[in-house]
């Protein structure tokens, strides 16, 4: 305001200067309103901006911004000290700038050590000096006429509107100076909004007045060339202006010295900085260790000499904080959280415009410094995301996710499900997750990030008497999944018996059209339990759910060290073949199976059926865009299908077999035939497609396989007398 406002008016003229002032202050006003909304919605603790961001967007985002914010506040003390020392040179030309800055930092720190109360009391006479200097400028302009002395310095080159805007904007970035003292306020919900809004509006009025006064009091040439034009225009000249200038700089230095230790204190309380920075001094008010750290950093920065580049990056860090505060207010309003009940309500569009303005101004001021600041914060966020523990407080991210989910679900139910849209949403039933991690991992592989995977433990018993802590057990399952790197949801259900429990859970799992459509169960140890699964299959088919029964081997020893092979035993698109082919493709998409090859095998009763099957598959595969080999085996007399499957797939890593619905009452016989085949195979999945889109999951309807093909998917439990006698 004192040193650069004249240059701004001289460069772009009065009208454009007023436009710059209005735009800048509107961004600042939006930030003040956003801050007021956040401050009146919840209690603000120690740390000001860091506290708000960490409790709203998470501790890792708060830390990524809070750590640079502390450094910026500490370096600001040095920057203001240099500015004050250089301004003193006006009356003391021979002063040594670094030494003077060193002494100024010591004085500022001494005042801060005495306590915030004393430091803030000193701000009152400083405010008076600034008011006197403003009055002197106005009176001098009105009574002294236009200052138009001969210009001796070179006229600076013309600057564009946005260049001048970038020069001016840092003058309005003190909007949250009081926020750093949030932990010291008796009533922060009342004091922060009032103090911030009054300060912004007062500054707005002054910034609108000063350019008018300067344009009246001096000509354009002197405004452009004389950085001390105030002293030429004002009443009594430098005697009233310089104390105001020095007071303004000193005031900013004191504010930074008070704010930096409190930001560091809040970081230490959240264990993002050494714990000893979280303690206060004997007086119980000031974070003394944090002040010592700030003092050391500020004094060390004196020896850097040229701080221009540092000053620009510091400005970027401050602006990023302002932008994020606006973003927090906008997202909190948009999320629709019932807990968002600020007494000062701000429409989300105002906060969003404030955020866009702050981030936009960063680029306008200096885009390389913007890149440095944002990359630094991004690096810190990535590092903290991996290193820090999760805090129990609820933050804004969950509100955002829930709002997005609700919006998406409302849109989802308005669009009908088609075969083209079908995704495998798999629910994996296990008795104990630790013991069936491999089955869960296959469930995630078969979904391959295309659908939702739910891991469900069923506990048999009475929910009123059973001694099971469901919440703790779900937490334990989530920990197991995280440790194994499996992306899935955890669920624990207490049921009277497993058979009815599976059907109940499957029907209730999901929300608003996003429900589990595929059940994955581990291969049982007994025929009776397998027969129960086959009875469940019949019920699942009626509610349009598919069933996978998985028998797992850790690794096929025959093929260890060789590229993996996935076998699909095919019998026709109208039954289970399309689902098996889709699951094989999704399995191959996983990085651990990317080198695998897919082979489709089928058994034909004669050469004619073999030719028909080959032709159909050769047409199907290009249309489905799935790369697979084809092998059709003509069945020899007296050679059973089970024997063919065992001989061909003994070395495969995964085998997919179709599973047919058995006749009611014959589940045990079917289970015996399944055991006869599966017990001699490596890892395999028995697949029953119970979805609405049987035959349509990999190709459009018009590409469906014509009737008449061998219905092999009645295997592995054929009903023909010939097969029974063969086996």
- Looking at residue 709, what is its pLDDT? 36
| CA atoms of 245 and 237, how far apart (whole Å) | 12
Whether 364 has a pLDDT exceeding 80, the answer reads yes
Tell me which of 240 and 160 has the higher pLDDT: 240
Give me the DSSP letters along 282-337.
TTSSS-HHHHHHHHHHHHHHHTT---HHHHHHHHHHHHHHHHHHHHHHHHHHHHT-
Could you tell me if 672 and 523 are in contact, meaning their C-beta atoms sit under 8 angstroms apart? no
- Looking at residue 480, what is its pLDDT? 92
Whether 21 has a pLDDT exceeding 90, the answer reads yes
| Range in 59-73, 493-507, 653-667, 695-709 with the lowest mean pLDDT | 695-709
| CA atoms of 712 and 690, how far apart (whole Å) | 17
User: What is the per-residue pLDDT across 471-503, written as a single tens digit (0 to 9) for each?
Assistant: 888 999 999 999 998 989 999 888 888 888 888
Whether 58 has a pLDDT exceeding 60, the answer reads yes
Whether 617 has a pLDDT exceeding 90, the answer reads no
Share of the chain above pLDDT 70, in %: 91
| CA atoms of 133 and 121, how far apart (whole Å) | 20
- SS3 annotation, 342-368: CCCCCCHHHHHHHHHHHHHHHHHHCHH
Q: Which of 194-208, 280-294, 710-724 is modeled with the greatest confidence?
A: 194-208
Do 621 and 721 have their domain in common?
yes
Domain containing 124 — which CATH number?
A: 1.20.1740.10
User: What is the per-residue pLDDT across 303-340, written as a single tens digit (0 to 9) for each?
Assistant: 876 666 667 777 788 888 888 888 888 888 887 766 67
- Number of alpha carbons in the 13 Å side-chain half-sphere of residue 692: 9
C-alpha distances in angstroms, 171 versus 20, 26, 79, 336? Answer: 11, 13, 14, 35
Do 321 and 172 have their domain in common?
yes
Boundary residue ending a domain (344, 364, 387):
387
- Looking at residue 556, what is its pLDDT? 55
Could you tell me if 586 and 446 are in contact, meaning their C-beta atoms sit under 8 angstroms apart? yes
Parallel, antiparallel, or unpaired: how do β-strands 546-551 and 684-688 relate?
Answer: antiparallel
The tokens 């936009």 sit on which residue?
360
Answer positive or negative: Cα dihedral of 644, 645, 646, 648: positive
Q: Which of 55-59, 417-421, 628-632 is modeled with the greatest confidence?
A: 628-632
Token pair for residue 727? Answer: 């086996």
Query: CB burial class (10 A; 0-12, 13-18, 19+) of residue 591?
Result: exposed
Boundary residue ending a domain (499, 522, 545):
522
The tokens 């968002």 sit on which residue?
340
Boundary residue ending a domain (342, 369, 387):
387
- SS3 annotation, 193-223: HHHHHHHHHHHHHHHHHHHHHHHHHECHHHH
- Looking at residue 703, what is its pLDDT? 43
Token pair for residue 533? Answer: 């699964």
Whether 207 has a pLDDT exceeding 90, the answer reads yes
Any domain includes 398: no
How large is the average pLDDT for residues 148-156?
77
Question: Residue 340 in 3-state DSSP?
Answer: coil
| CA atoms of 488 and 455, how far apart (whole Å) | 7
Task: Produce one character per residue of 412-436: b if its CB has 16 or more CB atoms within 10 Å, e if not.
Answer: eeeeeeebeebebbbbbbbeebeeb
Tell me which of 138 and 704 has the higher pLDDT: 138
Do 357 and 426 have their domain in common?
no
- Looking at residue 374, what is its pLDDT? 87
C-alpha distances in angstroms, 579 versus 494, 520, 548, 705? Answer: 31, 14, 10, 14
Do 138 and 42 have their domain in common?
yes
The tokens 């010291």 sit on which residue?
184
Tell me which of 215 and 79 has the higher pLDDT: 215
User: At 220, phi and psi to the nearest 5?
Assistant: -65, -40
DSSP code for 279: -
Any domain includes 546: no
Any domain includes 399: no
Do 510 and 559 have their domain in common?
no
Could you tell me if 164 and 20 are in contact, meaning their C-beta atoms sit under 8 angstroms apart? yes
| Range in 37-46, 494-503, 591-600, 675-684 with the lowest mean pLDDT | 37-46
- Looking at residue 715, what is its pLDDT? 41
Give me the DSSP letters along 114-136.
T-HHHHHHHHHHHHHHHHHHHHH
* Structure confidence at residue 549 as a pLDDT band (50, 70, 90): very high
How large is the average pLDDT for residues 371-386?
85
Whether 349 has a pLDDT exceeding 80, the answer reads yes
How large is the average pLDDT for residues 614-619?
84
Domain containing 475 — which CATH number?
A: 3.40.50.620
Q: Which of 176-185, 219-228, 616-625 is modeled with the greatest confidence?
A: 219-228
How large is the average pLDDT for residues 640-662?
87
How large is the average pLDDT for residues 238-250?
90
Task: List the domain range (segments joined by +) for residue 497.
Answer: 420-522
Do 500 and 598 have their domain in common?
no
Any domain includes 393: no
User: At 264, phi and psi to the nearest 5?
Assistant: -65, -40
Do 430 and 345 have their domain in common?
no
Q: What is the dihedral of CA 535, 447, 685, 661, to 10 degrees?
A: 30
Share of the chain above pLDDT 90, in %: 19
Domain containing 586 — which CATH number?
A: 3.40.50
Do 459 and 329 have their domain in common?
no
* Structure confidence at residue 603 as a pLDDT band (50, 70, 90): confident
Any domain includes 248: yes
User: What is the per-residue pLDDT across 216-240, written as a single tens digit (0 to 9) for each?
Assistant: 999 888 898 888 888 889 998 889 9
- The chain-wide mean pLDDT, for the chain, equals 83
Do 361 and 454 have their domain in common?
no
Do 498 and 603 have their domain in common?
no
* Structure confidence at residue 118 as a pLDDT band (50, 70, 90): confident
Q: Which residues, 6 or more positions from 282, have their beta carbon under 8 angstroms from its beta carbon? A: none
Query: CB burial class (10 A; 0-12, 13-18, 19+) of residue 671?
Result: buried
Any domain includes 88: yes
Any domain includes 540: no
* Structure confidence at residue 724 as a pLDDT band (50, 70, 90): very low
- Looking at residue 171, what is its pLDDT? 83
* Structure confidence at residue 663 as a pLDDT band (50, 70, 90): confident
Whether 191 has a pLDDT exceeding 80, the answer reads yes
Do 372 and 440 have their domain in common?
no
Q: Which residues, 6 or more positions from 3, have their beta carbon under 8 angstroms from its beta carbon? A: 87, 227, 228, 245
Q: What pTM, to 2 d.p., does this model score?
A: 0.67
How large is the average pLDDT for residues 614-622?
83
**Structural domains of the chain, count:** 3
Do 20 and 65 have their domain in common?
yes
- Looking at residue 699, what is its pLDDT? 65
- Looking at residue 625, what is its pLDDT? 81
Q: How many CB atoms lie within 10 A of CB 144?
A: 16
How large is the average pLDDT for residues 516-533?
90
Token pair for residue 171? Answer: 């003058």
Could you tell me if 168 and 28 are in contact, meaning their C-beta atoms sit under 8 angstroms apart? no
Any domain includes 402: no
């Amino acid at each position: 305001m004192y040193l650069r406002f004249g240059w701004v008016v001289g460069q772009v003229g009065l009208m454009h200067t007023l436009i710059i002032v209005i735009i800048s202050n509107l961004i600042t006003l939006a930030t003040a309103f956003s801050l007021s909304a956040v401050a009146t919605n919840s209690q603000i603790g120690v740390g000001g901006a860091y506290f708000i961001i960490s409790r709203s967007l998470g501790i890792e985002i708060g830390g990524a911004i809070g750590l640079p914010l502390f450094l910026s506040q500490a370096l600001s003390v040095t920057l203001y000290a240099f500015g004050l020392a250089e301004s003193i040179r006006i009356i003391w030309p021979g002063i040594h700038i670094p030494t003077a800055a060193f002494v100024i930092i010591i004085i500022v720190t001494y005042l801060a050590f005495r306590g915030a109360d004393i430091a803030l009391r000193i701000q009152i006479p400083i405010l008076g000096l600034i008011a006197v200097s403003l009055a002197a400028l106005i009176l001098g302009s009105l009574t002294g006429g236009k200052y138009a002395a001969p210009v001796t310095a070179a006229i600076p080159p013309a600057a564009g509107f946005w260049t001048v805007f970038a020069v001016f904007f840092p003058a309005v970035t003190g909007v949250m100076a009081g926020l750093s003292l949030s932990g010291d306020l008796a009533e922060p919900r009342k004091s922060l909004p009032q103090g911030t809004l009054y300060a912004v509006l007062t500054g707005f009025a002054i910034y609108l007045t000063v350019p008018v006064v300067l344009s009246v009091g001096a000509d354009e040439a002197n405004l452009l060339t004389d950085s001390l034009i105030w002293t030429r225009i004002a009443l009594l000249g430098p005697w009233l202006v310089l104390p105001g200038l020095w007071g303004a700089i000193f005031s900013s230095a004191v504010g930074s010295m008070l704010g930096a230790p409190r930001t560091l204190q809040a970081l230490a309380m959240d264990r993002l900085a050494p714990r000893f920075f979280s303690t206060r001094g004997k007086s119980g008010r000031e974070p003394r260790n944090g002040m010592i750290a700030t003092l050391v950093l500020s004094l060390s920065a004196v020896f850097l000499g040229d701080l221009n580049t540092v000053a620009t990056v510091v400005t970027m860090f401050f602006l990023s904080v302002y932008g994020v505060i606006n973003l927090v207010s906008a997202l909190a309003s948009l999320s629709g959280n019932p807990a968002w009940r600020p007494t000062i309500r701000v429409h989300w569009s105002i906060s969003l415009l404030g955020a866009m303005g702050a981030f936009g101004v960063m680029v306008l001021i200096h885009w390389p410094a913007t890149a440095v600041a944002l990359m630094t914060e991004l690096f810190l966020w990535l590092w903290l995301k991996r290193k820090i523990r999760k805090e129990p407080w609820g933050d804004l991210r969950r509100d955002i996710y829930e709002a997005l989910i609700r919006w998406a679900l409302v849109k989802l139910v308005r669009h009908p499900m088609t075969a083209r849209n079908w995704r495998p949403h798999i629910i994996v039933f296990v008795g104990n997750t630790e013991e069936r991690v491999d089955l869960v991992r296959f469930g995630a592989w078969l979904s391959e990030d295309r659908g939702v995977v739910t891991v469900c433990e069923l506990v048999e018993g009475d929910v009123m008497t059973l001694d099971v802590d469901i919440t703790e057990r779900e937490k334990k399952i989530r920990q197991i999944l995280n440790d194994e790197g499996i992306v899935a949801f955890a669920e624990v259900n207490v049921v009277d018996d497993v058979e009815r429990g599976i059907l109940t859970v499957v029907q209730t799992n999901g929300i608003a059209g996003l429900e589990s459509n595929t059940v994955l169960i581990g291969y049982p140890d007994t025929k009776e339990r397998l027969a129960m699964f086959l009875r469940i299959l019949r019920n699942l088919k009626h509610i349009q759910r598919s069933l996978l029964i998985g028998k797992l081997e850790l690794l096929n020893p025959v093929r260890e060290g060789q590229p993996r092979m996935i076998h699909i035993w095919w019998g026709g698109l109208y039954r289970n073949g399309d689902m098996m082919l889709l699951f094989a493709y999704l399995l191959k998409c996983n990085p651990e199976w990317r080198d695998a090859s897919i082979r489709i095998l089928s058994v034909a009763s004669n050469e004619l059926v073999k030719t028909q099957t080959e032709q159909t598959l050769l047409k199907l595969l290009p249309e489905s865009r799935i790369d697979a080999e084809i092998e059709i085996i003509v069945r020899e007399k007296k050679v059973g299908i089970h024997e063919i499957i065992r001989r061909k797939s003994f070395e495969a890593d995964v085998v997919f077999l179709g599973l047919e619905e058995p006749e009611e009452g014959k589940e045990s016989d079917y289970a015996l035939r399944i055991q006869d085949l599966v017990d001699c195979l490596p890892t395999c999945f028995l697949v029953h497609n119970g979805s609405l889109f049987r035959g349509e999951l990999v190709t459009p309807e018009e590409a469906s396989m014509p009737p008449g093909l061998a219905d092999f998917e009645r295997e592995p439990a054929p009903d023909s007398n010939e097969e029974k006698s063969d086996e």
